[in-house]
Amino acid sequence: MMETFGASVTASPSIETESGRAILSQHPDSNGSLGIAISEAVEVAAKDPDTKYALGSVLNHVLLHQTIIGLETIEQMALADDEPDIIVGCTGGGSNFAGLVMPYIGRNIKGRSHARVIAVEPAACPSLTKGRFTYDFGDTGHLTPLVKMHTLGSTFMPPGIHAGGLRYHGMAPLVSHVMDLGLIEATAIQQLDAFAAGIQFARAEGIIPAPESNHAIAGAIREALVAKEEGKQKTILFGLSGHGHFDMQSYIAYQAGQLENYDYPAEEVAMALAGLPSLG
């Protein structure tokens, strides 16, 4: 689609940057990651005086812009004369999740609402549930500043799960902060459970969700079943962060039984965390 309108598209990691070549020399079959792509993009921008790079995920200004999602949701819930008891969002770098939940966290702090806020991440890339809250680089090539966040280590190499937006080693500093304060919860979901939830949602609502969104849907369904078992009526709000029309290959693989669940091994997490920067 991008090439149709004149753009050139290069898959990351590429041989066009030092960062990409370094990764490919160590991992020739690398599936890439958001951290690697950031390194390559920053390097290209730094070497070209006519090119600028703006980080589009994780950082505070991005989360602030994304809060239009939560602000509009508050207005929509008011039209429905209801308030969410539970809010669920998929969480990779945290920008979309924060956009939905941060306005509600503010209302919770002020006592204007009492919603449980749940971040749902993939079991294969569990920065909130298995990572460490510390200073780390936001990219694999260590070209970005250090930020304090939940991280699996900048050298963490996520497996090739079909949820590209959730394959990032770190979490937005503000999301990490509210997690550290106990203002949100986090849970991890396997990709087979996520796709099953996405297909269930598609057949009910007529919208094929993005693989990332499937994680939030699975989390919402899980909470709905708990409420049903407890005999409690709950209003559950979740973020449908995108449609899956650009990710149909992942649905083809799921329907063909080619996808597998994956728990990132604790020993590999430990190895990646061993490479955290030393602070004086």
| Domains in the chain: ranges and CATH | 60-273 (3.40.50.1100)
- Convert the pLDDT of each residue in 123-181 to its tens digit: 988 999 999 999 999 888 888 889 999 999 988 877 777 776 678 889 999 999 999 99
| DSSP code string of 255-275 | HTT-----PPPHHHHHHHHTT
Contact yes or no for 87/117 (Cβ under 8 A): yes
User: What is the chain's length?
Assistant: 280
| List of residues 6+ apart from 280 with CB closer than 8 A | none
Mean pLDDT across 32-49: 91
Contact yes or no for 22/141 (Cβ under 8 A): yes
Residue-level pLDDT at 270: 85
Cα Rg, the chain, nearest whole Å: 19
Residue-level pLDDT at 249: 92
Mean pLDDT across 258-279: 84
Share of the chain above pLDDT 70, in %: 99
Distance CA 270, CA 265 (A): 9
pLDDT tier for residue 44 given thresholds of 50, 70 and 90: very high
End-to-end Cα spacing for the chain:
47
- Convert the pLDDT of each residue in 206-249 to its tens digit: 999 999 999 999 999 999 999 999 999 999 999 999 999 989 99
pLDDT tier for residue 268 given thresholds of 50, 70 and 90: confident
Tell me: pLDDT of 198 over 90.
Answer: yes
Share of the chain above pLDDT 90, in %: 75
pLDDT: which is higher, 65 or 161: 65
Residue-level pLDDT at 58: 87
Residue-level pLDDT at 280: 67
| List of residues 6+ apart from 190 with CB closer than 8 A | 122, 123, 261, 262, 263
Question: Which residue bears the tokens 């900048």?
Answer: 154
Q: How far is CA 174 from CA 34, 180, 230, 236, in A?
A: 19, 10, 33, 23
